[in-house]
Amino acid sequence: MSETTAAAPHGAPQDNGAAPPLLEVSDLHVEFHTRDGVATVLNGVDYHVRAGETLAVLGESGSGKSVTANTVMGILPMPPAKITGGAIRYRGEELLTATEERRRELRGENVAMIFQDALSALNPVFTVGFQIGEQLRTRRGMSKRDARNRAVELLDMVGIPGAKQRVTNFPHEFSGGMRQRVMIAMSLALDPDVLIADEPTTALDVTVQAQIMDLLADIQREREMGLILITHDLGVVAEVADRIAVMYAGRIVEQADVHQLYAKPCHPYTEALLASIPRLDSKGTELQAITGLPPTLTRIPSGCPFHPRCPRAADRCTEIDPPLTALPGGRASACLFAEEMAAR
């Protein structure tokens, strides 16, 4: 399985022998027009996912992870957002130029999304069974009875106890973990090829997090789905991901196989993220943190966006914004010191 970017417009390596991606994002640019000026939210994002593969997208809050996902789904509010360049392809079909009718056909049916806050995403005035069954009635033409029965099957599949009785419950009658399972059931109702999971374990305790991630992994293996996991939890990523794309200030700064990235990061931002993970063998030592804050997207610094926070920064880092460039081993990094870091 490849570890590189799909379109690789900035010089990242191509993986010509592999199966074509289910979904690929290529050189995607998005701006937000705000009172403070134009915010460059996405600045040339490139990634892809194949059948049966898990791509983890990492980065601090505000790095552009969720905006990329919402753009893929066609649910980005425009205005204030504006797509200024790039491409999004599902099985080779360009989505950004597709009609809204075609985007609606693909949304949920082929590419589905689990939203970050299940309580906000679920409608509080309808039962979970109604909400799951609605898309089955409208997209599959099922009767109310058949849609309800299928909703029960889906709730049972995602581990909701007493699914037959709970199908008539409202969202507020479920715990956080159970609501997240309901969201997963809804996203799987139409058997999508690609599932985007945006922070699916946010605000859940560690035990429930593990259950949710195990559930997603089991379903993915069963259905050979492509899974895009958006998260800031590096511990979760290590367990489930095949490849990792690290985002900073609206762009991908490193892509690598999960084992490569954890063993030898080739971008200082990735290195700093890994160093900030609490370790059991470092009891009594001070936790490491990344100094400073992510840049304001209306005033991204010149040169490399990470240089104000980077311990490796040199004078040239303030002038040169390095592109995502191929490295040995089928990985890519956007850093002037990437080759030096790879050779360690």
The pLDDT of residue 9 is above 70:
no
Whether the full predicted model's pTM is greater than 0.75, yes or no, is yes
Domain with 40, as residue range(s), is 1-101+195-200+225-278+287-344
DSSP-based three-state secondary structure for 35? coil
Domain presence at residue 270: yes
Domain presence at residue 331: yes
Question: Sign of the C-alpha dihedral, residues 216, 218, 219, 221?
Answer: positive
Domain presence at residue 68: yes
206 half-sphere exposure, CB direction, 13 A CA radius: 1
Domain presence at residue 136: no
Domain presence at residue 233: yes
Residues 6+ apart with CB under 8 A from 144: 133, 137
Domain presence at residue 317: yes
Helix (H) or strand (E) holding 257: strand 251-257
Domain presence at residue 157: no
pLDDT band for position 37 (50/70/90)? confident
pLDDT band for position 93 (50/70/90)? very high
Count of domains forming the chain: 1
The pLDDT of residue 210 is above 90:
no
DSSP-based three-state secondary structure for 135? helix
pLDDT digits over 264-318, tens only? 999 999 999 988 877 766 676 777 888 888 888 888 889 999 999 998 989 999 9
Rounded Cα–Cα distance for residues 339 and 344 (Å): 9
Domain presence at residue 2: yes
Name the nearest CA neighbour of 26 among 251, 241, 299.
251
pLDDT band for position 177 (50/70/90)? confident
CATH number of the domain that residue 16 is part of: 3.40.50.300
Q: How are the residues of the chain apportioned to helix, strand and coil, as percentages rounded to the nearest 5?
A: 35, 20, 45
pLDDT digits over 115-164, tens only? 877 778 889 999 999 999 998 999 888 999 999 999 999 998 888 889 99
What pLDDT, on a 0 to 100 scale, did the predictor assign at position 336? 92
What pLDDT, on a 0 to 100 scale, did the predictor assign at position 16? 47
